[in-house]
Structures are given as structure tokens and as C-alpha cells.
Structure 1
Amino acid sequence: MITWNNLDTLESFKELSDVKKVNLAEVMTGENGAERVKNYSVPMAAGMAYNYAAKQVDDDVLEALKKLAKEAQLTEKYAALYNGEVINTGEKRLVLHQLTRGQLGDTVTADGVDKRAFYVEQQQKIADFANKVHAGQITNAAGEKFTTVVQIGIGGSDLGPRAMYLALENWAKKNDKFKMEAKFISNVDPDDAAGVLSTIDVAHSIFVLVSKSGTTLETLTNESFVKDALKNAGLDASRHMIAVTSETSPLAKSDDYLAAFFMDDYIGGRYSSTSAVGGAVLSLAFGPEVFADFLAGAAEEDSLAKNEDVMQNPAMLDALIGVYERNILGYPSTAVLPYSQALSRFPAHLQQLDMESNGKSVNRFGEPVDYVTGPVIFGEPGTNGQHSFYQLLHQGTDIVPLQFIGFKNNQMDTDVVIQGSTSQQKLCANVAAQIVAFACGKADDNNNKNFEGGRPSSIIIGEQVNPASLGALLAHFENKVMFQGFLWNLNSFDQEGVQLGKVLAKRVLAHETDGALKVFSDLLNI
């Protein structure tokens, strides 16, 4: 029987707080450090590995974390999720994003249908549509092929799909998989839509409107912006637009769209990159086969997350170490540092994934918790970040745990040798150096040049950013966030915190304001 208890009521958590703290600089120096790097590694899907040698853990801490995982019933709670129990207690919903990429357990029936079959059906419909667009069977009114796809959405309808597209764009070009350029419109700021529209040929563009409810204010505003642009170009908007929405939304059977593909309430926006939300734009941009490989990588990583052995479960181990850092060591934030330009927007996606999921101060029953929960997530690609905020990471007053991501090979297979090494070798040399520099530091009599070290990091290492490794990477972090939510006894699958501002914004637009809200509205000339 599963029990849902607050973290601070678990006996294993109390034991964890008593375990001797690790001197990271000491254990990472010399041969000790070399042995840790070799041994403190867990295989991931798609040939990747999660290496936690530079984390503040040792065998004693790991044993305590294993006990915590067992007492918190992490494996059982994950099974309850993928077998279709109501895990989203706030909205009384199932949580089924893993079903978009594979059947992990029992058949899940909801709304009278097999949900895995439903998601596969939508993927097939998207694949058929994309193939017809690429073959010139679906064209604009002049019978000409579409060359650009533009996604209109916000939040999870933008951040994840945009990050995934950018991650695979160069890979697809190199591997002859690039079908259509993709653009994204998200911000209600008119400069966003106008800027995108100014860079494309609208006559040869197909627009993907993404709104589960069909009522999202920012998205519908941008849709109107796009429709006006099409009308001004003498074009029939209904020949240029498709919808990704729920079956019950007003968009589902509208004549305003060439086609509609469906999602449901069981997949939150920030978890929707492997659903029709990401499927439509990525299949149009790269082809359905690339999207299928992306799903396969995610499915393989989801399967690893079922492993009861923490030391063979990279997402669970990552989650446990993160909770140890947050709740025992007291670190308030985490930096995500991908040493790959392809992952330039991946940290932005993880900001939403993590902070919208676990930025909660009440448990899954609505009761206040007496411990800290989700950390602040931020990041930039290396080596750019080294010339930005690494000063604080190395010598600031706060210790910030670091999540590096590195790949042995670049995507384009083009490089240059300068001073005896390639650009890719220089990139990888930087990430290796940073891990050791953060962990071990450097003593200097000049305090300005003294590095205390003891700053923990982990690294996910892969061969190359490709569809399968990207899918695995995405699933790893989704599952890490899920396991941390279980440990903190949170509902990681609603987001009430984004609603209040929306409600007040509607009041402002209706001129139903008073007090400070009215004055700010007047200052902004609304």
C-alpha cells in the first residue's frame, strides 16, 4: 500500500541528516578523485551516462539515500503514475506523458479509451499529415509546397518544442533530415509575432496553433495577429493553419484549420514535448521518423526509471542527491550547464519543468510543508556561461550545485585545429576543467585568487546530440523532477501559481481596477 508522507516525517530522512558530510575537495584530489570518476557513474539510455563523482556523496550518504528511496516508495509511486492512478491531486487527473512514448505497465483507460492507443493514433495522424506536406500533397492555395512551419503557443507549448527543435536543427541538416524551417511565436508582446512574420514568406508557411482549451489569451491574440498577416497578403488563413488542442475545445472541429490533432488534460504543458504539442512541429520540421527516434530515446530512459536499484536508476539517483543538497546541505539553486550550443534553450525549458512542478509550499493534500522544496533553476550553454556568471559560482557566497551536460562529438562534423586541438576538444577540455576546478579549488595567499572548492557538480555525458539522446535527456529530467516531487510530497503536475496574474490581467483589460492595480495600469497607459 502506498502512503504519501511529508519528507520530514520519514525516519530515513532524519538518519540522512546525521550522516557525516563529505569533504568534496579532499575526495576529489589525486588518485581518490580518479577512482571516483571511474566508479561513480550510472548508465543512461542512448549510450549516455550520469556521472556524480563530483557530488558531495560517498558510500555512507548513498546508503542513506537508498533507504530514503525505499521508505518514500519512489518505485511504487512511479508505477502508480504510469498505471493510471490519479497522481495530480490538485486537478484530480491522471499523469500520462510517459504513455506518449511507450507502455510501461498496465493498459490505462480514461474517457472510455485506451490512452496509449489514443496517443499512437494522434502520432500516426501527424505523421501522415507531415508526409503529405513534404510530398507536396498538401499545399498552399497556389499548389506550392510549404517551406516553413510556425508554432503559436506559450509556456509548455513553446519552451519544450522550441528547445527540441533547436537541439536537432543542425543534426537534421547534416543528416539530410531537414524538411522545413521552424519558427516560434509565444510572447503576447506584438514585437514577437511581428518579428517572426517579418522573416518568413507567409504564402509558403504553415502555422500550428497550440492551445489545449482553445481559450489561451496570449495564443489566440497571436493567432489573430497571424490571420491578419495572411489576410493582408491576400491568403485564406484556413489553408495555412492547423490546431493542436483537446477534442472538446472550440478549435477541434473548426473550419478555420486544415487539420486538428489532439492532446488531453492528462499531459501538462511542460511535459508535452513528446505529445502532439511537440509532435506536429518536429514531424513537420524533420520528418516523423526523427520524432519517432526522439520518442524511443525517451521511452528507453523511462524504463530505466522503473529500476528498484537506485544505483541503476539515473533519474532517481539524481533526484535523491538533489534533495540531499537542498534539504540537508541547504543549497538554494541549481545551474544547468550544457556544453553544447544545440542545447542553448534546454535550460529555459528546465526552468519551467522544474520550477513550475516543484515550486510549491503546500503538499499534495494542500497542507503547508515545513521544509524547502524546489530550487531555483538557471543556466546557459558553456563556454558562454564561463564568461558570464561563473565568477559567482566559483567564488560567490552561495554554493550552487551544477549539472553539466557534455558530448564527445559535435553535430556538424566540421571543425578546425588551432594550437594543436580542435574546437570540440577545447569545448570538452573546458567542461572537464570546470568540474575539477569547482570541486578541488586552488589555494592562494592572495584571497582574491583563492578558490575554496567544495562546489558540487554532476555531468551527463553522451556521444552526440541526436534524436535518441535528446529524448533520453528530456525524460531523465522529467523523471528527476517527478521523483523529487514524490520525496517532497508535492503535486508536481498542477500550476496554480500561474493563475492569479492572469486573473488580474483580465481585470486590468476590463478596466475593473482600484488601488495599486489601477495606478500601475495608468502608469503603463492601459
Structure 2
Amino acid sequence: SDLGPAMAALALAPYHHGPRAHYVSNIDGAHIHDTLKGLSAETTLFIIASKTFTTVETMTNAQTARDWVQKALGKEAVGKHFAAVSTALDLVAKFGIAPDRVFGFWDWVGGRYSLWGAIGLPVMIAVGPRNFRAFLDGAHEMDEHFRTAPVQENLPVLLGLVGWWHRVICGYPARAVIPYDQRLSRLPAYLQQLDMESNGKSVTLEGTAVTTPTGPLVWGEPGTNGQHAFFQLLHQGTDFIPVEFLAAAIGHEPDLKHQHGLLLANCLAQSEALMKGRTLEEARAQMLAKGMKPAEVDKIAPHRVFSGNRPSITILYRKLDPRTFGRLIALYEHRVFVEGTLFNINSFDQWGVELGKELATGLLPVVEGKESAANRDASTAGLVGFIQHLRGSE
């Protein structure tokens, strides 16, 4: 997955001293087209990251990239502009990449847990070996904390227990992750995969149906943007959605301390508002103090009531440096494992992604018009027919 490296590259942007790093993952041709636009083939290195070197999305984009290089520089240039992170050396060689440009990793590592190894190569190139080592050291520190700290002081255990309590005992369906740190803007998307692909399961380790809810829906946006998008629902919606805030005490921009102060004030204010809320009496008193007429107060005050008692967690750190970032990501990895253990499910497989991939293989010739959709279900056949209709209207 590119979610980990892309998130890490953005999070560690202040430490970039190497080439610019771009990440392409979507099979939609617009993704690689827009990324390549403006780049020079002579100064571009492609790192193809695929354990099996057969992932359709990755290899389709890799072929497009190879065609782009060949068109600009000739076929003989391919080997100089590509490297691979893979375990399939035979397929890598067939693509045209020499063995000394291949970085291997263990075949048992799932994509969402692979940032620490060779999959993180683009991040190391961008931030340099020393900063990448600090990132790994921070993760190791959290690993050791998880392994040795008493339960009552163990951060992954405590987070996992709270998450399990919210999901199973309280029945809360979702979890919002709101980093008040713009460079962590891709963290919610990364955690969506880490958490939902790991714990979005309905079968236990014994192969029987689970008897309790399992992984929640994970979503979010960076603050303060989220305040103007969905905080209305968090504060006054009918569902209680636990919120996890993240914030740094110190920013990377010394000339913008006032803005960082505003950022922190907003983060703390949202946490306080979720906890304390505002009663009808408080709303009325506030409006009357501003000189509003009693009739208008009676009409509007109920809409300005906040129930409060809505759960949130705030994770604070001094500064988002490589070591801290490593600790943070390892914390969330271990938290997912703790919750998976409490759910009694396997957090390290992802069978739920297989069916759609299998069906897509069979649907490709149908979409391309090489086969009929007659043998498909009525819904799919109808969609294929409408696609063909839309194409015919061009």
C-alpha cells in the first residue's frame, strides 16, 4: 500500500533533503497521468513496490511508467530508471530490472504493516538514512514499551481497551481521528486501512461467527478543517462518535507561533466542548446577556444546547520529529493488535478484499465489450448497459 509511505513522506516533510517523492497507487489512469505531467523522464526514478509483482493496480501503473520512459529515452534506459521492492525476483527481472536494483522483504508482511522495511525506501531517500533510523528507533521504543510496561501504564493496551469498550460495551459505530497537525493530514486514511482492514472481520480465530461488534468505522480530517465540515454531527448528532485528537506542543515554523497557538486552542476547545457541553439554561443566559429578546431566546436556545459527555482522547507530543512519528505509528499498530485480540479475530489477514478483485477480473472483458453481460446479474448487466450507452453518446 502507498498509504503508509505517502503519509510518512508528508509527516516528515520538514526533514526532506532528497529528491521529491510522488506516490501513485490508483488504477485510474488520471492518477499517474497527472503525476507524470511536468516531470522529466531523465531525472525520474520509479520504485515499483509489490510483494508478488502481480498486483493489478501496481503493475498496470508500472507498465504505463515504463512506456513513458521508453517513449522519452528509449528501451535501453528502462533499467536505469526503475528499482523494485518485491519478493518475486523472476518477475522483476522479466520487467527489465536488474537484481542489484531489487530490495526484498519478508513475504509474510502485509502491506499495511510494511512501512518499517523496504517498502519505506522512498521515505528514506527523501528524509535521509539518519532521519529514517530515528523513525525506526522511535518505533522500537514503542515496541519495547508495549512489551514491558505494566498494563495500567501501557499505552497500546490502554488505547485498545478504550476502543474495545467504546465499540462493544457502548455500541459506538465509528471513531473519528482528528490530527491538529496539517502534516498528519493523511493519518486518518492510513488508519482506515490499518484498523478497518485488520479488524473489520466477522469470523473468530476458531472459524465461527463473532458474537459482538468488531472494528469500528475509522474516519477523519485534520483540524481545524474538520470543524467546518462535520463537527456539527460530533457535537449534536444522534450518534455518539468517540474522537481522537492529536497535537504537537511545538510547531516547525518558529515565525508562526501565533498560528500554532490558535491551532492548539481550537484543539483543546473541541475536547472541552465534547466533554462539558452546554445546558439550556447556559444557552439562555448567554443569549440574554447579549441583549436578545426573550421570545427570540426561547426560539433559538434549544438549538444551542450541547449534550456533552461525548468521549474523546487527546494525544499530545512535543514536536512531530522522526522519532516521535515512529512512536506514534507503532502505538497505533499495537493498539490494533490489542483490539483484535479482544475481538478474538485475526488482525493480519484481509480476505474481504478478495471477492471484488476476483469479480473485476471477469468483468474486464465485459466492460471492454469483448464479452456479453447477459450471464451477469440484472443489476450488474444494467450498469454495463448504461456504461455502453454513455460511451455511445460521445
Please, what TM-score do these two structures have when normalized by structure 1? 0.66
User: For the Cα contact (< 8 Å) 2:19–2:125, is it kept in 1?
Assistant: yes
Structure 2 match to 1:139: none
- The structural deviation recorded for 1:494 is 0.5
Q: Figure out how many residues of one structure are paired with residues of the other and give that number.
A: 359
The residue identity in structure 2 corresponding to 1:193 is: I
- Indicate yes or no: 2:278 matched with 1:432: no
Instruction: Find the aligned partners of 1:254 and 1:197 in 2 and give their Cα distance.
Output: 20
Q: Secondary structure at the match of 1:251?
A: helix
Structure 1 match to 2:238: 397
Aligned pairs (5 A) from 1:367-382? 367-382=208-223
Q: Secondary structure at the match of 2:345?
A: coil
- Indicate yes or no: 2:164 matched with 1:164: no
- The structural deviation recorded for 1:254 is 5.6
- The structural deviation recorded for 1:201 is 1.9
Match 2:110 to one of 247, 259, 268? 268
Instruction: Find the aligned partners of 2:41 and 2:234 in 1 and give their Cα distance.
Output: 45
- Indicate yes or no: 2:175 matched with 1:320: no
The residue identity in structure 1 corresponding to 2:52 is: S
- The structural deviation recorded for 1:248 is 5.3
Aligned pairs (5 A) from 1:19-58? none
Give the RMSD, CA atoms, in angstroms: 1.6
- The structural deviation recorded for 1:253 is 7.6
Structure 2 match to 1:358: 199
Judging by fraction of residues, say which structure has more helix: 2
User: For the Cα contact (< 8 Å) 1:208–1:244, is it kept in 2?
Assistant: yes
Aligned pairs (5 A) from 1:126-525? 156=1, 158-169=2-13, 171-172=14-15, 177-235=16-74, 236-247=77-88, 250-251=91-92, 255-257=96-98, 259-278=101-120, 280-307=121-148, 309-415=150-256, 422-444=258-280, 445=284, 446-511=301-366, 513=373, 514-515=376-377, 516-525=379-388
* Per-residue CA distance 1:30-59 (angstroms, 9 max, x = gap): xxxxxxxxxxxxxxxxxxxxxxxxxxxxxx
Structure 1 match to 2:298: none
- The structural deviation recorded for 1:260 is 0.3
Q: Secondary structure at the match of 2:85?
A: strand
- The structural deviation recorded for 1:406 is 0.6
- The structural deviation recorded for 1:414 is 2.8
User: For the Cα contact (< 8 Å) 2:141–2:327, is it kept in 1?
Assistant: yes
Q: Secondary structure at the match of 1:510?
A: helix
Instruction: Find the aligned partners of 1:470 and 1:229 in 2 and give their Cα distance.
Output: 35
Structure 2 match to 1:96: none
Q: Secondary structure at the match of 2:48?
A: strand
Instruction: Find the aligned partners of 2:4 and 2:88 in 1 and give their Cα distance.
Output: 22
Query: Could you tell me the percent identity over the aligned residues?
Result: 39
Q: Secondary structure at the match of 1:338?
A: strand
The residue identity in structure 1 corresponding to 2:267 is: V
Q: Secondary structure at the match of 2:92?
A: coil
Instruction: Find the aligned partners of 1:237 and 1:413 in 2 and give their Cα distance.
Output: 44
Superposition misfits of 4+ residues, deviation over 2 angstroms: 252-258, 510-513, 515-526
The residue identity in structure 2 corresponding to 1:502 is: K
User: For the Cα contact (< 8 Å) 2:138–2:326, is it kept in 1?
Assistant: yes
Please, what TM-score do these two structures have when normalized by structure 2? 0.88
Any unmatched runs of 5+ in structure 2?
A: 285-300
The residue identity in structure 2 corresponding to 1:186 is: S
* Per-residue CA distance 1:503-526 (angstroms, 9 max, x = gap): 000001133652233332333349
The residue identity in structure 1 corresponding to 2:4 is: G
User: For the Cα contact (< 8 Å) 2:105–2:117, is it kept in 1?
Assistant: yes
* Per-residue CA distance 1:474-526 (angstroms, 9 max, x = gap): 00000000000001000000001011111000001133652233332333349
The answer to which of 424-433 and 300-309 deviates more is: 300-309
